């Protein structure tokens, strides 16, 4: 019988496919906190599609990306389901899609829903 295989010894592509099956954000966050080797792979999935419905959550996102700027590059889809709020010192409203796109360089989809 062969010895046990350490999970982090698997190729990143395979680890990514394994984590693609995990749908629960809390579980992905737990994996991200497990070790440095899994953090980027799990966070790429955590931050890839974000739906923000409260201004406080947007501030939390700002703090999370400021603490670890690499997270900005993980965001591919961002849904802001409210109008006119603040991200850091930048006003985000229906006219600032370019500003939001600059904050998240790999952003592919942005939805900003007005409260009206």
**Average pLDDT of span 12-31:** 94
56 versus 42: the higher-pLDDT residue is: 42
pTM of the predicted model as reported, rounded to 2 decimal places: 0.78
CB atoms within 10 A of CB 92: 22
pLDDT-derived band at 59, boundaries 50, 70, 90: confident
3-state secondary structure of 48: coil
**Average pLDDT of span 86-114:** 70
Residue 53 pLDDT more than 60? yes
């Amino acid at each position: 019988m062969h010895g046990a295989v350490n999970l982090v010894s698997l190729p990143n592509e395979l680890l990514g496919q394994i984590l693609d099956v995990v749908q629960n954000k809390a579980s992905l966050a737990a994996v991200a906190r497990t070790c440095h080797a899994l953090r980027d792979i799990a966070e790429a999935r955590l931050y890839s599609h974000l739906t923000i419905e409260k201004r406080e959550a947007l501030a939390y996102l700002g703090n999370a990306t400021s603490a670890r700027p690499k997270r900005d590059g993980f965001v591919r889809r961002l849904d802001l389901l409210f109008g006119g709020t603040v991200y850091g010192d930048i006003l985000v409203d229906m006219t600032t899609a370019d500003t939001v796109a600059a904050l998240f360089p790999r952003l592919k989809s942005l939805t900003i829903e007005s409260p009206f």
